[in-house]
Amino acid sequence: MPPFVGTADERRALAVYLALLGGAHPQSLATEPGVAGADGATFFETNCSMCHGPDGEWPMTARSPRTAGEFYDLLGRLPEVNEMMPPFDGSDAERRAVASHLSAIATGK
């Protein structure tokens, strides 16, 4: 799949559309991007969970624990790690918060 070339609003609209096609409840998609601030869990739920949540095709699990620093590094180079991933488009505070949240998921904490 080629990298997505649309705007952030177009990316969000496409993600919502695809999530709805996949059976997501419309109220679960009501959060706008950027609202999460530095809340890693909310940012993850809004932007990542459709693919990496418990019901996603590639869920995050405790099978490969990494530190928050390792996740922070990975988030900064997502397309390099996996060409299907879009670049992380949150703020640095959001990136740190998501990295911390992912580390907690990966270590089962």
Considering the domain boundaries, does residue 1 fall inside one?
Answer: no
- The residue segments making up the domain with residue 93 are 8-107
Chain segment 70-99, per-residue pLDDT in tens: 999 999 999 998 888 889 988 898 999 999
Q: What's the chain's average pLDDT?
A: 80
Q: Is the pLDDT of residue 108 over 80?
A: no
| Cβ neighbours of 70 (radius 10 Å) | 15
Contact 59, 53 (CB under 8 A): yes
Question: Pick the residue with more confidence: 77 or 61?
Answer: 77
Angle CA 69–71–73, to nearest 5? 70
Q: Is the pLDDT of residue 104 over 50?
A: yes
Q: How far apart are CA 25 and CA 21, in angstroms?
A: 10
Q: Which H helix or E strand runs over 90?
A: none
**Tally of domains in the chain:** 1
Considering the domain boundaries, does residue 2 fall inside one?
Answer: no
pLDDT of residue 28: 58
| Cβ neighbours of 102 (radius 10 Å) | 24
Considering the domain boundaries, does residue 23 fall inside one?
Answer: yes
Q: Say what the pTM is.
A: 0.63
